[in-house]
Structure 1
Amino acid sequence: MNVTQEVIVGDSDKILPQFIAEGRKFDLILTDPPYNLNKDFGNDSDSLPLAEFLEVSRDRIQNCRDLLTNEGSLLWFGIHHYIGFLQAIMYEAGLHYRRMNIWRYNNGFSRSKRVPRGEYEPFLWFTNSDRRWTYNTDDVRIPYRSEERLKTPVWYRNSKGERVKWAPDPRGAMRGDIWEFPTLAGKRFAKERTSHPTQKPVALFVELLKAYCPKDSEGRYVGAVLDPFLGSGTTAVACEILNSEGHKIKWVGIELEERWATIALDRVDRLVQQQRLL
């Protein structure tokens, strides 16, 4: 394992306070913690009474706050059942709201006809500072829906009353707060999918890192990334995909269950081996 990799098997609720005591800091905390929907992760972490879930979440969010650099960001995946509670806790912790983003997938399915089919999961973006943070707009642009738009400039009047021409950026449109990536369902994602019950797509996490990681003077992604609930290792794999392209992201992942940590390490090791063969 090189210096950019660190997978820790243990309880993040105990490890994060240790990190704080050691003075460790992270530019980005990107995590997908248990949603409290009774998923089987090999423990009871996803089956807490509501009051306990909120209290645990409060401690976790406060720990994450204390681990952020001055310009650091927290990206926290959740579910519509509880996302409002978590957002309020982040406000109470003194973090600064930037946006509630939506991970939208069009290949979801429903187990019930009594409610609408689920097609999204929200994730919150809060920052440590209300003045300075990282968001690399141009790195995550998306194609325009119609190339016809590229042919026609738009004229408008600015705050000074001046007539100004707006032309579409040839690199694409600015990404909005809806991130469209399919779930890992079907044969198409059989090679990526593991046995973890809530695995997120690597493609989504690569884009998140490109958006929220700081960059050096040469345009490389740098800084330190923490995932306190590493699961099957999607955050780590996404970091290493970018590192294989010449970037220099340092990352730490914490996972309670050894079997998921083993899967995470195997995924990273396979990626590293593939890169060595190229």
Structure 2
Amino acid sequence: MKFDESMIITGDSDEIMPQLVEDGIRFDLILTDPPYNLNKDFGNDSDSLPMSDFLDVSRARINSCASLLSDYGSLLWFGIHHYIGFHQVMMYEAGLNYRRMNIWRYENGFSRSKKVPRGEYEPFLWFSKDSKRWTYNADDVRVPYKSTERIKNPVWYTNSKGERKQWKPDPRGAMRGDIWEYPTLAGKAFEKERTSHPTQKPEALFVELLKAYCPKDEEGQYAGMVLDPFLGSGTTAAACELLNAEGNHIQYMGIELEERWTAIAQERVNQTRNNRPLF
């Protein structure tokens, strides 16, 4: 298979990823939201597997992802608290290097049960190919300071050279933590972005993830090659296109089993290329 430009493929990633490995194609970032095995209706039985089958399939997928990463590439894998521990172990076993367990937190979720706490988050794992080098553009994803009260008085520290220095707040904002707060696509506020896909993620969240984990070219623009082997309704592709509309150069490949979702994904890409307004 050739990968010369951004592309969306209708097909089975469990078959396509091993072929990409054999063809020598590598990606700087794999950003994906695979089925959680919670019996969601994606138009097939991919989310309703017996536990043993789900673990076997997950292991094979993670091994393929590990083989598809470039030398300093990263894997971002969304999951659910039910099974994320299994996936974390599988990534260690695949030879990847643990960087962080991140949390996508949302406050606009709702509960269908009074027997357990209301769900307000989904975890996603970050593992890198190399143990010492990877991409994380910390300054690109800074967040506003919650308060400046604590910095009214000077804050002093000693640097690595033994020099006494005064810390001042960065005008770009505070360093982002490992909790990424973005609302789900619920309610009227998100009706223009929301599709019929049952587990669609927010574009705003994925744009920030790309800004954090995509390598940059010599001009400082986001570049590199991105893979989403479980593209769904196309949020990863749409987020890449939104950044490319600002002058960046991200190439991406999205793989999705169901044709109806790839059709929606391609429509979202086309809308962005035709100057759909940013958020």
**Shorter-chain TM-score: which interval?**
over 0.9
Structure 1 residues 12 and 141 mapped into 2: Cα distance closer, same or farther (>3 Å)? same
Supply the distance in 1 between the matched residues of 2:208 and 2:150 (Cα, whole angstroms): 25
Q: CA deviation at 1:150?
A: 5.6
Supply the distance in 1 between the matched residues of 2:10 and 2:154 (Cα, whole angstroms): 54
What's the CA shift string for 1:24-72, capped at 9, x where partnerless? 0000000000000000000010011111111100000000000000000
The match for 1:248 is 249
Alignment of 1:53-72 (within 5 A): 53-72=54-73
2:177 corresponds to 1:153: no
Supply the distance in 2 between the matched residues of 1:134 and 1:125 (Cα, whole angstroms): 11
Supply the distance in 2 between the matched residues of 1:252 and 1:72 (Cα, whole angstroms): 15
What's the CA shift string for 1:117-159, capped at 9, x where partnerless? 0000000000000010000000000000014456543112346
The match for 2:10 is 9
Q: Which amino acid aligns with 1:273?
A: N
Gaps spanning 5+ residues in structure 1: where?
none
Q: CA deviation at 1:161?
A: 5.1
Q: CA deviation at 1:5?
A: 2.0
Secondary structure at 1:135's aligned position in 2?
coil
The match for 1:48 is 49
Alignment of 1:101-112 (within 5 A): 101-112=102-113
The match for 1:38 is 39
Q: CA deviation at 1:164?
A: 2.6
Supply the distance in 1 between the matched residues of 2:184 and 2:15 (Cα, whole angstroms): 31
The match for 1:80 is 81
Structure 1 residues 271 and 160 mapped into 2: Cα distance closer, same or farther (>3 Å)? closer
Gaps spanning 5+ residues in structure 2: where?
none
* Structure-1-length-normalised TM-score: 0.96
Q: CA deviation at 1:11?
A: 0.2
2:128 corresponds to 1:127: yes
Structure 1 residues 7 and 208 mapped into 2: Cα distance closer, same or farther (>3 Å)? same
* Structure-2-length-normalised TM-score: 0.95
| Identical amino acids, percent of aligned pairs | 72
Supply the distance in 2 between the matched residues of 1:275 and 1:81 (Cα, whole angstroms): 37
Secondary structure at 2:275's aligned position in 1?
helix
Q: CA deviation at 1:89?
A: 0.5
Q: CA deviation at 1:273?
A: 1.4
Secondary structure at 2:140's aligned position in 1?
helix
The match for 2:210 is 209
Supply the distance in 2 between the matched residues of 1:232 and 1:22 (Cα, whole angstroms): 26
Q: How many residues align?
A: 275
Alignment of 1:171-182 (within 5 A): 171-182=172-183
The match for 1:236 is 237
